[in-house]
């Protein structure tokens, strides 16, 4: 096994050396089947909240839930990049707010067209990531310190960009339609067919390639069961969305970024190097990998996705203000991938964890709002869930190390 090989590191692609129930249980406990664990957790959470409030599983509320998780999910995708190299970025919330403010001011106050304003906002996020990545690698300052300083700095920059008004309302359809566009049933079902067909082709194609290479892989019945499960979830989700306002463009954007970044870390040389650096930076350096370059790129991608998430959040709220990127956005963006199995210790994780973790966080937040729980209770419950996820990650890591696995 190569350190950092995505087929080894990503939970969904772990090798199935055996197929017995005992082996599946072992892999589950070691974190190889983290996605299954999170899906079961989501099911339990939904059942609990539906029992407490029958509106939770209504089409209208689930549509709102999907919209609510888009910003957190997009930011969490970037967080996965830095977590995979064993680092952290505490500035993503502030960066998301600043990028949205840059976009809003350019569009509303300067009269720039939406596409250009959005592009400059994302470039601003990328520039911040480049700066923080450079400071981290050039001066060997812990990423925790660099990004904590960044959090304070970019919050101040947000106030400066917004100026005395403090709030910029968005009205241009080129921006507001990003989070407020819904497609009809026909588009929804076409989208479902594409998702199911693509997943089946990728899954079965990977299975055939591994067999041709003589690598042990999962049995075909298990693969078919996975495809069937994805098909059922996709069909049910589209049916629910179609029964309300339709398929949201924001959700399509989120899924597109998830698929794209998952392909980036599992199908490219950069992805293999990313896992290698997170698994063992010194070994990666001795293998000829440009460790510092990989780290800088990871921070650039992280801040760029923070900007994308901030812009989607502004589109949904139709405004940018001094609290944009604040509140518990940072906590949720970091907690989401960790909850879904991406390791805080680096070298192990999946971009899908951003989506699954955001769904967990969003479901808990949405359910607690329906139950009208106090903010103090919400913070304690969310913090408890994050702590539990970190404990599970630490235990799984200990089990793997005990068996001599990375």
Q: pLDDT tens across 292-319, in order?
A: 999 999 999 999 999 999 999 999 999 9
* Nearest one of 401, 405, 400 to 30, comparing CA atoms: 400
Residues of the chain with pLDDT under 50: 1-19, 29, 31
238 CB-contact burial (10 Å; exposed 0-12 / middle 13-18 / buried 19+): buried
Distance CA 202, CA 43 (A): 26
pLDDT at position 79 is 98
Phi, psi of 306, rounded to the nearest 5 degrees: -60, -40
198 domain residue, yes or no:
no
pLDDT at position 406 is 54
201 domain residue, yes or no:
no
Distance CA 24, CA 11 (A): 12
DSSP assigned state of 347: S
pLDDT at position 327 is 81
324 domain residue, yes or no:
yes
330 domain residue, yes or no:
yes
Three-state secondary structure call for residue 33: coil
209 domain residue, yes or no:
no
**Number of folded domains that form the chain:** 1
* Nearest one of 1, 2, 4 to 281, comparing CA atoms: 4
pLDDT at position 50 is 95
Distance CA 265, CA 350 (A): 8
pLDDT at position 201 is 94
Q: CA angle at residue 304 from 298 to 310, to 5 degrees?
A: 135
Domain that holds residue 129: 6-184+246-402
Distance CA 96, CA 90 (A): 12
pLDDT tens for 189-225 read 999 999 999 999 998 988 898 888 887 777 788 788 8
100 domain residue, yes or no:
yes
pLDDT at position 229 is 87
CATH number, domain with residue 130:
1.10.3470
Q: What is the CA radius of gyration of the chain?
A: 21
pLDDT at position 402 is 73
Joined tokens for residue 110: 């300067």
pLDDT at position 210 is 85
pLDDT at position 11 is 39
81 domain residue, yes or no:
yes
Long-range contacts: 8-14, Cβ < 8 Å, 24+?
A: 8/406, 9/275, 9/279, 9/347, 9/348, 9/349, 9/406, 10/265, 10/266, 10/348, 10/349, 10/350, 11/35, 11/341, 11/348, 11/349, 11/350, 11/353, 12/350, 12/352, 13/206, 13/266
pLDDT at position 399 is 72
297 domain residue, yes or no:
yes
């Amino acid at each position: 096994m190569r350190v950092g090989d995505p087929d080894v590191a990503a939970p969904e692609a772990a090798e199935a050396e055996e197929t017995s129930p005992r082996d599946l249980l072992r892999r589950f406990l070691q974190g190889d089947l983290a996605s299954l664990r999170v899906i079961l957790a989501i099911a339990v959470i939904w059942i609990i909240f539906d029992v407490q409030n029958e509106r939770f599983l209504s089409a209208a509320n689930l549509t709102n839930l999907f919209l609510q998780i888009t910003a957190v999910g997009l930011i969490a995708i970037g967080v996965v990049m830095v977590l995979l190299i064993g680092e952290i970025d505490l500035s993503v919330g502030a960066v998301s707010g600043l990028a949205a403010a840059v976009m809003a001011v350019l569009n509303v106050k300067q009269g720039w067209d939406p596409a250009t304003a959005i592009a400059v906002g994302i470039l601003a996020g990328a520039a911040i990531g480049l700066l923080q990545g450079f400071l981290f690698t050039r001066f060997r300052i812990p990423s925790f310190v660099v990004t904590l300083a960044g959090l304070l700095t970019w919050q101040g920059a947000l106030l400066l960009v917004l100026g005395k008004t403090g709030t910029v309302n968005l009205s241009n359809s080129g921006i507001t339609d990003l989070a407020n566009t819904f497609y009809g049933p026909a588009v929804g079902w076409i989208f479902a067919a594409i998702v199911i067909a693509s997943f089946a082709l990728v899954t079965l194609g990977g299975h055939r390639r591994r067999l041709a290479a003589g690598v042990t892989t999962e049995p075909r019945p298990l693969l078919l069961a996975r495809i069937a499960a994805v098909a059922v979830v996709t069909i049910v989700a589209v049916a629910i969305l179609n029964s309300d306002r339709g398929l949201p463009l924001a959700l399509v954007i989120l899924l597109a970024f998830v698929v794209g970044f998952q392909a980036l870390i599992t199908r490219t040389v950069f992805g293999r190097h990313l896992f290698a650096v997170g698994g063992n930076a010194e070994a990666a350096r001795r293998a000829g990998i440009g460790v510092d370059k990989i780290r800088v790129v990871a921070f650039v991608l992280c801040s760029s996705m923070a900007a994308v998430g901030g812009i989607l959040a502004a589109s949904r709220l139709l405004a940018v203000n001094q609290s944009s990127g604040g509140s518990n956005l940072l906590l949720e963006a970091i907690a989401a991938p960790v909850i879904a199995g991406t390791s805080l210790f680096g070298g192990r994780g999946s971009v899908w964890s951003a989506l699954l973790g955001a769904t967990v966080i969003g479901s808990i937040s949405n359910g607690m709002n329906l139950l009208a729980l106090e903010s103090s209770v919400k913070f304690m419950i969310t913090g408890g869930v994050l702590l539990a996820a970190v404990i599970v990650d630490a235990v799984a890591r200990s089990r793997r190390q005990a068996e001599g696995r990375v």
